[in-house]
Chain A
Amino acid sequence: MRRADIPLVEIVDRLLEKGVVLAGGATISVAGVDLIELRLSVVLAAVDTFERALREEVAS
């Protein structure tokens, strides 16, 4: 699928609400409105969950 075919709403949902945010030193701002910062510990917790799932996926 060409990228232009992807509706803007699909991109907005991902780019503004998801993706890595380093906890310190950055200004997280879009048009002057601060976004909610995610702590990296949240990322780590998610990675741990995936690693378990991936191990089970490989084992099965």
Chain B
Amino acid sequence: MRSYVRASDEPRFADLVAVRAGAVAALASEYPGTPRPDEAELRAHDAITRRVHDAMPSLPARFGALYEDPDALRAALVPREKPLEHALAALGTRVEVGVTLRWRAARPHMGPADASGRAFLEERAARERERSEAGQIVERLVAELACERALIRERICPHEGVAATVAVLTTRDGETNVRRRVESFGRNASEVTTDLYGPFPPYSFVS
């Protein structure tokens, strides 16, 4: 599965099969076997969902959803037609901009060699402080963006060295403003750097 679109947009992509159910259509690739989550497959899924989203309102499918044949996909789609139609109307034309906030200075963490109980507790306390600080930074970014909190999704300390990843839902016209505000935030933030990615289809807002 790649994307969900409105049937009225009459989706036609040479490399995708369109399975319709009333007002919605599912766009899928014919695929022999199970896709492996290697870089080429993931980037291909990303490219396809982005191409569809550039062409018409869409919702991206999570990577790795397989149906045996178009009939199985249609059977799954029919009872979900109305919710998907509703979701497409609310989110389909929007894009998400990804923001990664990276710590400017490395956070000290103890390695496996420090296995004492005291070291464990100190490590846990350090992680909690890091999460708390990252959460406060995200709230400052949210204030800078000056948009509804519901249009923002964040993950706190998702990876080593990363304070947070933030997804901002916006219109295509609003993307430039989001970028400008994030860049302004990055210039003034002493604790983190900011990297902008996207725009992506609204992955983070349909999960």
Q: Which residues of A contact B (CB under 8 A)?
A: 1, 3, 6-32, 35, 38, 40, 42-44, 46-47, 49-54, 56-57
A48 CB, min distance to chain B CBs, angstroms: 8
Other 17 A-B pairs with CB < 8 A, given A6-B46, A13-B155, A21-B62? A1-B196, A1-B197, A8-B42, A11-B42, A14-B203, A15-B63, A18-B62, A19-B49, A19-B60, A19-B63, A19-B207, A23-B80, A26-B66, A27-B67, A30-B35, A31-B37, A43-B83
Question: Who on chain A is nearest to B36 by CB?
Answer: A31
Q: Could you say which residues of chain A place their CB within 8 Å of the CB of B165? A: 10, 13
Q: Write 23 A-B pairs (CB below 8 A) sorted by A numbering.
A: A1-B197, A1-B198, A3-B47, A10-B98, A11-B46, A15-B62, A15-B63, A16-B42, A19-B60, A19-B61, A24-B75, A26-B73, A29-B64, A29-B66, A40-B80, A40-B84, A44-B83, A50-B91, A50-B150, A50-B205, A53-B149, A53-B150, A57-B148
Q: Given A11-B46, A51-B90, are A20 and B197 also a contact pair (CB < 8 Å)? A: no
CA distance A44 to B204 in the complex (A): 13
Which residues from B are CB-within-8-Å of A50? 90-91, 150-151, 169, 205
A1 CB contacts on chain B under 8 angstroms: 196-198
**B163 on the A face (CB < 8 A):** no
**Interface hits, B44-94 → A, CB 8 Å:** 45-47, 49-50, 59-67, 72-73, 75-77, 79-80, 83-84, 86-87, 90-91
By a beta-carbon cutoff of 8 Å, the part of chain B in contact with chain A is: 1, 4, 34-37, 39, 42-43, 45-47, 49-50, 59-67, 72-73, 75-77, 79-80, 83-84, 86-87, 90-91, 98, 100, 147-151, 155, 158-159, 165, 169, 196-198, 200, 203-207
With A25-B72, A44-B83, A51-B90 as contacts: A20 and B34 at CB distance below 8 Å: no
